[in-house]
Amino acid sequence: MRWKRFVASVLYALNGIRIAICHERNMRIHLAATMAVIAAAVMFRISKMEWLVLLVTIGAVISLEIVNSAIERTVDLVTDKYRPLAKEAKDLAAGAVLVFALLSMIIGISIFSPYLYVFFKNSLHFHK
């Protein structure tokens, strides 16, 4: 019986991820960025520690986007009228995603810039 409840809860969570992907434009943007970052990580053969940092960063951004979407839907469920506190709740949740998305860009730049430097340095020497 416990096993069935666990499986059901996993299926509900997977449905939540599906909803976010299908209905949230920003989630699709985050996923496109994720695919580009993973492709670059594979291409440059980044270290195990760099992979771990990237995976935690990707997971955090995607998780925050899902939480932001849940907060937006909850606020919309509670009121369909303009209310300053409802707007603030939505803006705060979106702000949390933005802060971590910007931080993840800084993390990505710090991880990939040495690889890009070597790549472009070698490309320039190759053409001389």
The CATH number covering residue 122 comes to 1.10.287.3610
80 annotated as belonging to a binding site for a ligand: no
The pTM is what? 0.89
Please indicate if the annotation marks 88 as binding a ligand.
no
Question: Distance between CA 20 and CA 69 in Å, rounded?
Answer: 7
Q: Which of 76, 77, 72 is nearest to 97 (CA)?
A: 72
The pLDDT score that the predictor gives to residue 1 is 77
Share of the chain above pLDDT 90, in %: 91
Place of tokens 């955090």: 60
Number of domains in the chain: 1
Residue 27 · residue 66 · CB < 8 Å: yes
- Structure token digits, residue 10: 């996993």
Range of the domain at 49: 2-126
5 marked as part of a ligand binding site: yes
Q: Which element (helix H / strand E) includes 57?
A: helix 48-78
Q: Which band of pLDDT confidence, cut at 50, 70 and 90, is reported for residue 126?
A: low
Report pLDDT for 128: 54
Is 65 noted as a catalytic residue in this protein?
Answer: yes
* Token pair for 38: 């993973």
Q: Give the side-chain half-sphere CA count within 13 A for 74.
A: 10
Choose, from 30, 41, 65, 68, the residue flagged as catalytic.
Answer: 65
Please answer whether residues 40 and 116 qualify as being in contact, where contact means their C-beta atoms are separated by less than 8 angstroms: no
Whether residue 35 has pLDDT greater than 90? yes
